[in-house]
A and B are shown apart, each in its own frame.
Chain A
């Protein structure tokens, strides 16, 4: 890396960062709170009431922070609740602000609005959706050459160890990993999805049950449910799949997985009714 590029962020287009490094860093783009969480937290902090102009401190300004800007910020606050409600309908993932975008973007109205009721939601622009990761190639284009047979224990091997620590395999010095190891959380779902792709739905369902047992509160719960619904449909258990899909919708009303689940049910679920 040259001296010049060494002092630029790795995600800068002109940096020498590898594709792997960029993929690693862009994986953090979705960090932050969802709109629902921002709203819930605002409520917990008792920030719901509009801000009265009289409460604004006469900002002794410096470095370009003018009174007008502070006033504008207050207008932004009075509109925050409406913004949050509006943003609430966005999907969970899309509602998250990208790294370089403001968490909330507000088109400000003239100052007189400060003396009236909270600014109507029409003045507000919802946060931009998180951009897709350009450097993230299609996962299906990857080969399977890195798979070692010992790295993927089958469901029947796992079912007997529900309460036992999961043992990491695939390296000469196997390391015992605690049951809540997030890496195994991901690994189990990978194996389940692989089993589903290969057509072994019972294996997939076994792995998913194991995942549900070991990682009940997994951050990948939505992905797990989606794979499970697909496995049920492919396994001819359409009725059960629809029940799961309904439960999913109730539990994750704004999930990014919902569209895919709807497609699965629409394309395959109806065809296998009664099976």
Chain B
């Protein structure tokens, strides 16, 4: 598991920005991407996160882990980004944006196609369920840490996970029946 040594890192004083950057830049990038930031905006949104971290470093109180503190910035930036993106483009329901019917001809395209479907299905989740699903299923963090990161009771986190799984699994099944996903 990445950043395993610091997964539950708790310090009273925050490491300086360069340390945080090296340790968490890919975590931030992956979380942003999976919470709805598209590739084209990823670098800018990462910058936004680390700029905010730098600006708000005095707000770190050492009560939680550094990762949960970093995650809170990423989550906020992703939410803001999604709101802006919502204004820019018409929101399409998951039925209309699933990849069109065509056999797969290229592994790279196949992978992108799956990734596009994942984006679409994640977009159909509310922020709370999405965050739990992303952290548990994609980041593969322990659920206790997921609950801490999203600041909810453990049981609530499990409940959100199962609800999110149902949504994603239904979407996959729907896509398979339509022949748009294997």
Q: Which residues of A contact B (CB under 8 A)?
A: 6-7, 9-11, 18, 20-21, 23-28, 30-33, 37-38, 40-42, 44-45, 47, 51, 55-65, 69-70, 73-74, 76-77, 80, 97, 99-104, 133, 136, 138-140, 142-144, 146-148, 151-152, 168-171, 175, 177-178, 180-184, 186-187, 189-191, 193-194, 197, 217, 219-220, 223, 227, 256-257
B103 touches A146 (CB 8 A): yes
Of chain A, the residue at the smallest CB distance from B181 is A20
A168 touches B96 (CB 8 A): yes
Q: CA–CA, A147 to B178, complex, Å?
A: 11
Instruction: Tell which of A65, A138, A152, A171 touches B178, judged by Cβ atoms closer than 8 Å.
Output: A171
Q: CA–CA, A186 to B25, complex, Å?
A: 29
B42 within 8 A of A: yes
Q: CA–CA, A70 to B116, complex, Å?
A: 39
Q: CA–CA, A165 to B138, complex, Å?
A: 34
A39 to chain B, nearest CB (A): 11
Instruction: Tell which of A11, A61, A147, A177 touches B11, judged by Cβ atoms closer than 8 Å.
Output: A61
B29 touches A32 (CB 8 A): yes
Best-surrounded residue of B15, B25, B100, B117 (most CB of chain A within 10 A): B100
B79 within 8 A of A: no
B47 touches A44 (CB 8 A): yes
A11 touches B113 (CB 8 A): no
Q: CA–CA, A65 to B13, complex, Å?
A: 12
Instruction: Tell which of A20, A47, A97 touches B21, judged by Cβ atoms closer than 8 Å.
Output: A47
Q: CA–CA, A25 to B29, complex, Å?
A: 17
A190 touches B102 (CB 8 A): yes
A60 touches B140 (CB 8 A): no
Question: Interface 1/0s, chain B 9-39, versus A by CB < 8 A?
Answer: 1111111111101110111011001100001
Question: Interface 1/0s, chain B 140-182, versus A by CB < 8 A?
Answer: 1001000000000000001000100100110011001011011
A residues in contact with B3, CB < 8 Å: 102-103
A11 touches B140 (CB 8 A): yes
Instruction: Tell which of A80, A146, A175 touches B96, judged by Cβ atoms closer than 8 Å.
Output: A175
Q: CA–CA, A178 to B3, complex, Å?
A: 40
Of chain A, the residue at the smallest CB distance from B6 is A65
B110 touches A103 (CB 8 A): no
Q: Given A28-B34, A51-B18, A133-B111, output 8 extra A-B contacts at Cβ < 8 Å.
A: A20-B181, A47-B21, A80-B18, A99-B138, A103-B27, A136-B111, A175-B96, A186-B116
Knowing A9-B136, A41-B47 are in contact, say whether A197-B10 is a contact too (CB < 8 A): no
Q: CA–CA, A182 to B113, complex, Å?
A: 9
Knowing A62-B11, A97-B26, A170-B100 are in contact, say whether A140-B105 is a contact too (CB < 8 A): yes
Knowing A40-B43, A102-B2, A193-B109 are in contact, say whether A23-B102 is a contact too (CB < 8 A): no
A24 touches B96 (CB 8 A): no
Question: Interface 1/0s, chain B 80-100, versus A by CB < 8 A?
Answer: 000000000110100111111
Q: CA–CA, A146 to B179, complex, Å?
A: 6
Of chain B, the residue at the smallest CB distance from A104 is B22
B85 to chain A, nearest CB (A): 12
A103 touches B26 (CB 8 A): yes
B100 touches A24 (CB 8 A): no
A33 touches B29 (CB 8 A): yes
B112 touches A148 (CB 8 A): no
B104 touches A45 (CB 8 A): no
A sample of 13 cross-chain residue pairs with beta-carbon separation below 8 angstroms, ordered by A number, consists of A7-B143, A21-B172, A28-B115, A45-B47, A51-B18, A51-B19, A80-B21, A102-B3, A103-B3, A103-B25, A148-B101, A168-B100, A186-B109
A219 touches B19 (CB 8 A): no
B residues in contact with A146, CB < 8 Å: 101, 103, 179
